Amino acid sequence: MRTDAVVLTVAFGYLALLFVIAAWGDRRAEQGRSIIGSPTVYALSIAVYCTAWTFYGSVGRAAEFGPSFLLIYLGPTLAMLMAPFMIRKMVRIASTQRITSIADFISARYGKSSSLGALVALIALIGITPYIALQLKAITLSHAVLVNYPEAAELRLAEESFWVDKSFWVALVLAVFIILFGTRHLDASERHEGMVAAIAFESLVKLVAFLTIGVFVVFVLFNGPVDLFSQVADSPQLVGALGLDAVPGGATGWVGTLVLAFLAFLTLPRQFQVLVVENVDERHLKRASWLFPLYLVAINLFVIPIAMAGLLLPIGNHDPDSFVLTLPLSAGLEGIPLLVFIGGLSAATGMVIVETIALSTMVSNQLIMPLLLRSKRLHLSSQGELAGWLLGIRRIAIVLILLLGYLYHALIGDSYSLVTIGLVSFAAAAQFAPAMLIGMYWRGATRVGASLGLIAGFLIWVYTLLLPGFAQSGWLDADFLTLGPWGIEWLRPYALFGLEGWDIYTHSLLWSLLANVGILVGVSLFTRQTPLEQTQAALFTNAMNPGLQHTPLWRGQTTCGELRSLLSRYLGAVATARILSDQGNGSLADADPAPPSLIARAEQALSGALGSASARVLINSVVRGEALDLESILSILDTTSQTLEYNRRLEQKSNELARIGEELRAANERLRELDRLKDEFVAMVSHELRTPLTSIRAFAEILRDGKDLPEEKRIHFLEVVVLESQRLSRLIEEILDLARLESGRLTLTPQKLDLVALARHSVDAVHRLQEDRGVTLVVDIDVDEAPVIGDPDRLEQVIINLLDNAGKFADDDDPRVRLHLAPHKRHFRLSVEDNGPGIAGDERERVFEKFHQIKRFSGNAGKAKGRPRGSGLGLPISRGIVSHLGGRLWVEDAPQLQGACLVMELPSAMDGREPGFVQKVGD
């Protein structure tokens, strides 16, 4: 069954299936029923990351270097986690700028520079061709293993003619495939539906194939993972194989490889192609950002078991890279090896297809088109339609790239193991990362800085990885590696500047990125950007700014006719008609001046086909005046940021206004309340004044009219008149006090006095009265002497008022009042508490407001039965007096009697100091 004919039939049958799927995908797309507009297909197409290098090489790497192969997949996992920040921005930029490749991306960022684009394309071509060669080598090798087993399948490429080598024919078939499905549209920024469908299918095939062989090895060759790993534990030579010791470079090598994989995942041309260029909807990133890492976990799950099984079982002296084939072959199976071969074929072809499309786009748009435009512009312009030309260039580029890959594979491939070439390519692609990533976030990065940084990084990569590779292949003297060029030891490519003990990739990555980033940043700080560069830099760094989209940026003048002829020359009549008719403002006559938005559309369309650098050259050739309105775009950018700033401030202001409005409303509410209370107060005062006045008048009239009243009655009536007059004048006095306090005209005569004596005196004054009311008065004085500065009459008024109030509000049945005087820090505190209902927390400050208090007093009038009501002005007056004397008066919970407690605090005047001084010290 393993005859050449069968294997070849299956292999080319599989390729034919790919053609069918791709054709189907393209047909569905034409019918408007796309099969690939789903995040799952997008994630599967990203899995083109897993090449033949993953399929065969991971097992080899696991067998040789332990878990380090996982780093190649952990890096992309980290990158995909960052997709909502980084890749989303790349996708946004690419769709607005119609980016066709990573070279176009970098060129567009740095002022649509054609030289920088060409540089990137060139580096990609040199760095990636070996990687394509690697895939072809994997196909040849796996075919040889399959057919020759149990003989060792050492490559015999040198002895074979190329037409015997199957990978040559596979490459040719792939070239046809790519030409058919990769160059259908001229616009390279449009999605290649059929190709993506085929790639997604290939990702499924390789996953299924790898999982099948994994399950077979673990559950058929062994009795499950436990059995396998207990056997591993029993073989001493394998014990160290899975630890960090097996990883080249140890911990440093670990980090280096992780960083390398992270960067390469973003910058490899094929990854950029599927991640960014082929993305149709940036929302797909959300699903892909976890689905793709999950795919990576799945395809790596059985790598270690297969590697361990290959090392454990006696399958002959085969290369670990081929364990996935030799293990089932050694078990005498026929079907599974064939499936594995197809899996490997799918991994290799998927990579070759996407990579070749990406490279050919770069080569045609960044290398060949600018040259043609420059040297043969007149000649080209005289042609009728150039659209065919462009596609022709791209198709030739495809064939050439594949041939180059094959040539590399045939000439140098023998000496490299699979893994080596892969990581060398990774390191080359990683050189694009600084220009791309820094350019996306730092507006100041300049074209000169990026170009020099790239060149430096690339040269160091050549010196530390590519040339040593040649030396190992025998193309260069091996002394170059061990002794350094011309015997200069510190120039040894694997130990540059004496940095030894690192694995070669981390070593190369460190030096190349150091030079790359250092020069990019350093030179950028000292060079100027052209206006176009400034604009592009602003557009790239602010790509997520919503105000930037769909802004016409063109100002130059041209006619519609000129634009039409330019477009039809390069894009063909159909595309031109579509671009011009999408305009929406009716048919434009050829002589009409072209509106700015039309010029922008024309440039975008040309960018999609030719790359941004060439498109700019072409547009400038027909547009007179400064084509791109740089000033206005920069001002748009600035206005957008200004508008955002204004919006933010406006929002702040309106919040503030709302808050102030709320405060005003509250204040108004309060004022109304106060007004109402004032009216009540006036009514109350009038009432209070009228009551004694009425009785005085009544008794006075009786005395006047009743000439024959008995003497004792007359005396009694006169006493009533006198008492009521006293009450009246006391009331008036209080009102006057309050008025004085409020207008600040209250005159106090402060002097040093003893608060203890004053308190006792006040208690004596009210003692009789309280006793009459049945109030128990307790006096607690903790000090012998309490010198304070105050007006004795006024202070006594305050204390009497406090005692009086407490008596009124104490419990109805068993009224109790306690006066307590104690020192507190540099103050004396006199507190009067009662066992009444107390005062609620939110009422405590309001009792000191005269209006409020009246309300409260009248409300409690019924409760305080049998005890006279006050005017209700006592507490506000007391507080005014106390604060005039530098003290405080407030309400708190009664410490002993459970009712209210009013506390008066006055600064101590212990050393006869002035009141002001005392107060200062007390604070």
Partner 1 sequence: MSAPRHHARLIALIALATLVFSPPLVLIFDRPPEAGASWLPLYLFVVWGLVIALGAWLMEHQREDG
CA distance 525 to 305: 52
Closest to partner 1 by CB, 254 vs 570, is 254
For 628, which DSSP code? B
Nearest by Cα to 910 from 831, 832, 825? 825
# binding residues, partner 1 (CB under 8 A)? 39
Site map (CB under 8 A) of partner 1, residues 178-217, x = contact: ----------------------------------------
What b-and-e string marks burial along 524-554, b requiring 16 or more CB atoms within 10 Å of the CB?
beeeebeebbbbbbbbbbebebeebeebbbb
Q: Tell me the closest approach of the beta carbon of residue 302 to partner 1, in angstroms.
A: 11
If binding is defined by CB under 8 A, does position 164 make contact with partner 1?
no
Stretch that binds partner 1, among 77-85, 96-104, 441-449, 883-891 (CB under 8 A): 77-85
Question: What is the DSSP annotation of 126-164?
Answer: HHHHHHHHHHHHHHHHHHHHHHHTTS-----TTTS-TTT
Q: Tell me the closest approach of the beta carbon of residue 651 to partner 1, in angstroms.
A: 16
CA distance 485 to 483: 7
If binding is defined by CB under 8 A, does position 255 make contact with partner 1?
yes
Closest to partner 1 by CB, 86 vs 208, is 86
Q: Tell me the closest approach of the beta carbon of residue 304 to partner 1, in angstroms.
A: 5
If binding is defined by CB under 8 A, does position 254 make contact with partner 1?
yes
CA distance 463 to 395: 32
If binding is defined by CB under 8 A, does position 293 make contact with partner 1?
yes
CA distance 551 to 604: 13
The correct pick among 224, 243, 625, 661 for binding partner 1 (CB under 8 A) is 243
Closest to partner 1 by CB, 293 vs 422, is 293
The correct pick among 16, 82, 525, 921 for binding partner 1 (CB under 8 A) is 82
If binding is defined by CB under 8 A, does position 294 make contact with partner 1?
yes
If binding is defined by CB under 8 A, does position 241 make contact with partner 1?
yes
CA distance 292 to 275: 11
Residue 610 near residue 390, CB atoms below 8 Å: yes
CA distance 413 to 726: 123
If binding is defined by CB under 8 A, does position 258 make contact with partner 1?
yes
Stretch that binds partner 1, among 1-9, 47-55, 63-71, 194-202 (CB under 8 A): 63-71
For 900, which DSSP code? E
If binding is defined by CB under 8 A, does position 309 make contact with partner 1?
no
If binding is defined by CB under 8 A, does position 233 make contact with partner 1?
yes
Q: How many other CB atoms are there within 10 angstroms of residue 350's CB atom?
A: 30
Q: Tell me the closest approach of the beta carbon of residue 506 to partner 1, in angstroms.
A: 12
Residue 800 near residue 762, CB atoms below 8 Å: yes
Closest to partner 1 by CB, 244 vs 478, is 244
Q: Tell me the closest approach of the beta carbon of residue 54 to partner 1, in angstroms.
A: 16
Residue 741 near residue 882, CB atoms below 8 Å: no
The correct pick among 19, 229, 389, 442 for binding partner 1 (CB under 8 A) is 229
For 906, which DSSP code? E
Identity of residue 827:
H
Closest to partner 1 by CB, 210 vs 461, is 210
If binding is defined by CB under 8 A, does position 77 make contact with partner 1?
yes
CA distance 919 to 512: 73
The correct pick among 15, 103, 232, 339 for binding partner 1 (CB under 8 A) is 232
Phi, psi at 261, each rounded to 5°:
-65, -40
Residue 627 near residue 563, CB atoms below 8 Å: no
If binding is defined by CB under 8 A, does position 226 make contact with partner 1?
no
Q: Tell me the closest approach of the beta carbon of residue 803 to partner 1, in angstroms.
A: 60
Distances (CA, A) of 858 to 342, 531, 680: 99, 82, 11
Q: Tell me the closest approach of the beta carbon of residue 230 to partner 1, in angstroms.
A: 8
Distances (CA, A) of 597 to 446, 548, 583, 591, 594: 28, 14, 8, 17, 8
If binding is defined by CB under 8 A, does position 290 make contact with partner 1?
yes
Identity of residue 412:
I
If binding is defined by CB under 8 A, does position 297 make contact with partner 1?
yes
If binding is defined by CB under 8 A, does position 390 make contact with partner 1?
no
CA distance 864 to 587: 95
Closest to partner 1 by CB, 68 vs 607, is 68
If binding is defined by CB under 8 A, does position 289 make contact with partner 1?
yes
If binding is defined by CB under 8 A, does position 655 make contact with partner 1?
no
Q: Tell me the closest approach of the beta carbon of residue 225 to partner 1, in angstroms.
A: 10
Q: Tell me the closest approach of the beta carbon of residue 77 to partner 1, in angstroms.
A: 7
Nearest by Cα to 218 from 128, 298, 308? 308
If binding is defined by CB under 8 A, does position 66 make contact with partner 1?
yes
If binding is defined by CB under 8 A, does position 237 make contact with partner 1?
no
CA distance 921 to 216: 90
If binding is defined by CB under 8 A, does position 67 make contact with partner 1?
yes
- For residue 721, give every residue at least 6 positions away whose Cβ sits within 8 Å of its Cβ, in sequence order, or none: 695, 696, 699, 700, 703
Residue 366 near residue 342, CB atoms below 8 Å: no
User: In which residue are the tokens 């025998």 written?
Assistant: 474
If binding is defined by CB under 8 A, does position 287 make contact with partner 1?
yes
- For residue 586, give every residue at least 6 positions away whose Cβ sits within 8 Å of its Cβ, in sequence order, or none: none
The correct pick among 41, 59, 74, 218 for binding partner 1 (CB under 8 A) is 74
Site for partner 1 in 119-138 (CB under 8 A): none
- For residue 910, give every residue at least 6 positions away whose Cβ sits within 8 Å of its Cβ, in sequence order, or none: 787, 826
If binding is defined by CB under 8 A, does position 16 make contact with partner 1?
no
If binding is defined by CB under 8 A, does position 239 make contact with partner 1?
yes
The correct pick among 1, 251, 591, 840 for binding partner 1 (CB under 8 A) is 251
Closest to partner 1 by CB, 423 vs 537, is 423
If binding is defined by CB under 8 A, does position 84 make contact with partner 1?
yes
CA distance 43 to 66: 28
If binding is defined by CB under 8 A, does position 78 make contact with partner 1?
yes
Q: Tell me the closest approach of the beta carbon of residue 233 to partner 1, in angstroms.
A: 3
Identity of residue 537:
A
Closest to partner 1 by CB, 286 vs 767, is 286
Closest to partner 1 by CB, 81 vs 371, is 81
Stretch that binds partner 1, among 143-151, 280-288, 499-507, 853-861 (CB under 8 A): 280-288
Distance of CA 384 to the CA centre of its chain: 51
If binding is defined by CB under 8 A, does position 81 make contact with partner 1?
yes
Q: Please name the helix (run of DSSP H) or strand (run of DSSP E) that holds residue 751, with its range, or none.
A: strand 751-754
Extract the runs of DSSP E, i.e. beta strands, from 212-288: none
If binding is defined by CB under 8 A, does position 244 make contact with partner 1?
yes
Closest to partner 1 by CB, 222 vs 809, is 222
CA distance 113 to 616: 10
DSSP bridge partners of 902 = 832, 891
CA distance 747 to 712: 43
Closest to partner 1 by CB, 546 vs 841, is 546
If binding is defined by CB under 8 A, does position 544 make contact with partner 1?
no
If binding is defined by CB under 8 A, does position 301 make contact with partner 1?
yes
Closest to partner 1 by CB, 243 vs 823, is 243
Q: Tell me the closest approach of the beta carbon of residue 83 to partner 1, in angstroms.
A: 9
Does 84 sit behind a cis peptide bond, omega within 30 degrees of 0 on the bond before it? no
CA distance 876 to 848: 5
Stretch that binds partner 1, among 281-289, 599-607, 609-617, 678-686 (CB under 8 A): 281-289
Which residues contact partner 1 (rule: CB under 8 A)? 66-67, 70, 74, 77-78, 80-82, 84-85, 229-230, 232-234, 238-244, 251, 254-255, 258, 283, 286-287, 289-291, 293-294, 297, 301, 304, 308
